């Protein structure tokens, strides 16, 4: 009898331990998988160069680089612009001045008092980046200048050597976002909490690149492009995925998806097009 009671107690103890261990495992698994703990970030790797940006910074980097692609400027121009904007504004469209001057504004901290345009114009990122490139291309041989020298000739900064510290980031993101390095840019993001709109993505894409052949197919925007342009558009979509509720990007046998940070994976994506899929609402619209 006593032996039987002892066995029952042992069985209860073992069951309790099993439940406790199972509970701990479940809790740990949940914590590991919980998207609330995902550190959202975007990275670029091109050769031995790497860079990391927050998603909002990456979206601005994509805008700056797309403008260079649209103008048929070399990737070097985008590198200079990215390093400059990182130093001047941390790649954010800020509406206040700094040590450069009380009236400096925007991605490049341009100043109305120095002829860059009105405050409203400078706060328009598309205007600001094209104003920067307009000044850059007037510099003889800017493509072969040190990045800090080219940036300084445009900006006339009180800290001319500061641009150099952002060169590696600029080169990595410029190489990926211009499409020179396929699958260079990837973002680790949580699942989108709100639906996106394919037409909005098409509008933003057209504003960034101009003249793109994009067709809306339900929740997917299909962009006709190949080669470097296809990879530029694809990585632009990844860099803008957080704000535009992009869930999947497919191009040239590779695909990127969220949530998670698995990067670009082999897929059956066809050549000659980029497929950008947007989160729909529960009604499928």
| Contact of 52 with 176, CB cutoff 8 Å | no
Over 141-162, what HEC string results?
CHHHCCHHHHHHHHHCCCCCCH
Q: In tens digits, what is the pLDDT along the chain, a chain of 285 residues?
A: 555 555 556 544 554 554 444 444 443 344 345 556 668 999 999 999 999 999 999 999 999 999 999 999 999 999 999 999 999 999 999 987 655 567 789 999 999 988 899 999 999 999 999 999 999 999 999 999 999 999 999 988 767 688 889 999 999 999 999 999 999 999 999 999 999 999 999 999 999 999 999 999 999 999 999 999 999 999 999 999 999 999 999 999 999 999 877 899 999 999 999 999 999 876 555
Distance CA 206, CA 16 (A): 62
The Cα diameter of the chain in Å comes to: 99
Measured in whole angstroms, the distance separating CA 109 from the mean position of its chain's CA atoms is 21
Q: How many Cβ atoms from other residues are within 10 Å of residue 259's Cβ?
A: 15
């Amino acid at each position: 009898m006593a032996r039987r009671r002892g066995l029952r107690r042992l069985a209860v103890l073992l069951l309790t331990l099993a439940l406790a261990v199972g509970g701990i495992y479940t809790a740990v698994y949940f914590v590991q998988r919980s998207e609330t703990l995902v550190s959202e970030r975007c990275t670029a790797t091109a050769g031995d160069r790497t860079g990391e940006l927050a998603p909002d910074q990456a979206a601005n980097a994509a805008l700056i680089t797309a403008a260079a692609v649209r103008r048929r400027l070399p990737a070097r121009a985008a590198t200079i612009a990215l390093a400059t904007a990182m130093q001047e504004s941390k790649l954010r469209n800020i509406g206040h001045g700094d040590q450069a001057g009380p009236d400096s504004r925007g991605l490049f901290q341009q100043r109305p008092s120095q002829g860059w345009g009105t405050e409203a114009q400078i706060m328009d990122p598309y205007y600001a980046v094209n104003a920067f490139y307009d000044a850059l291309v007037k510099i003889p041989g800017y493509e072969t200048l040190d990045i800090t020298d080219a940036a300084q000739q445009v900006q006339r900064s009180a800290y001319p050597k500061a641009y150099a510290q952002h060169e590696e980031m600029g080169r990595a993101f410029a190489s990926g976002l211009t499409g020179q390095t396929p699958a260079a840019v990837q973002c680790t993001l949580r699942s989108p909490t709100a639906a996106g709109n394919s037409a909005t993505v098409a509008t933003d894409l057209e504003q960034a690149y101009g003249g793109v052949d994009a067709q809306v197919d339900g929740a997917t925007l299909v962009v006709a492009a190949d080669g470097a342009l296809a990879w530029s558009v694809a990585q632009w979509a990844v860099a803008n995925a957080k704000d535009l509720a992009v869930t999947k990007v497919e191009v040239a046998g590779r695909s990127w998806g969220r949530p998670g940070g698995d990067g670009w994976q082999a897929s059956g994506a066809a050549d000659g097009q980029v497929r950008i899929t947007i989160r729909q609402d529960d009604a499928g619209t």
